[in-house]
Amino acid sequence: MTRHTKDAAPKQTGIAHLWSAAGYSAGGLTRLTKEAAFRQEVMAGTGLLVAYAVMDVTAAVRLSAIILFLLLIAMEAVNTAIEEIIDRISPEVSATGKHAKDLGSLAVFCLILANSMLLLYALTVHLKI
């Protein structure tokens, strides 16, 4: 049987493992900065965090906003990974590839909706509607 992959490097443990993982995460963030959607989400998220700082809302709302924003960024990373894999293994248009990309997009959209719903809630509390 023919092997198509290189042997993996030995796994690191302890602090060395954490350091390696941080490097992989930095590489992922660097890759993600090339995505227009990520840059737009960061700009919108920054604006939202400033808005929450100005609004008279609880610390729980502010913490929820930060958590939802981080989840959105994480899901954008997963969506980008899905797109990269599909484009690599199936460069031709296929129903399966389209479904995978559409599902990744839906996951991101759901988190955008969740962020928007929290903003609407915060606005109703702040404006006492």
CATH for 36-127, options being 1.20.1250.20, 1.10.357.10, 1.10.287.3610, 1.10.10.60: 1.10.287.3610
For 25-55, write each residue's pLDDT tens digit: 999 999 999 999 999 999 999 999 999 999 9
Split at pLDDT 50, 70, 90, the class of 91 is: confident
Closest CA to 82 of 70, 58, 63, 99: 99
For 51-74, write each residue's pLDDT tens digit: 999 998 999 999 999 999 999 999
Domain ranges of the chain: 36-127
What's the whole-model pTM score? 0.85
Catalytically active residues, by annotation: 76
**pLDDT above 50: residue 110:** yes
Query: What pLDDT is attached to residue 4?
Result: 57
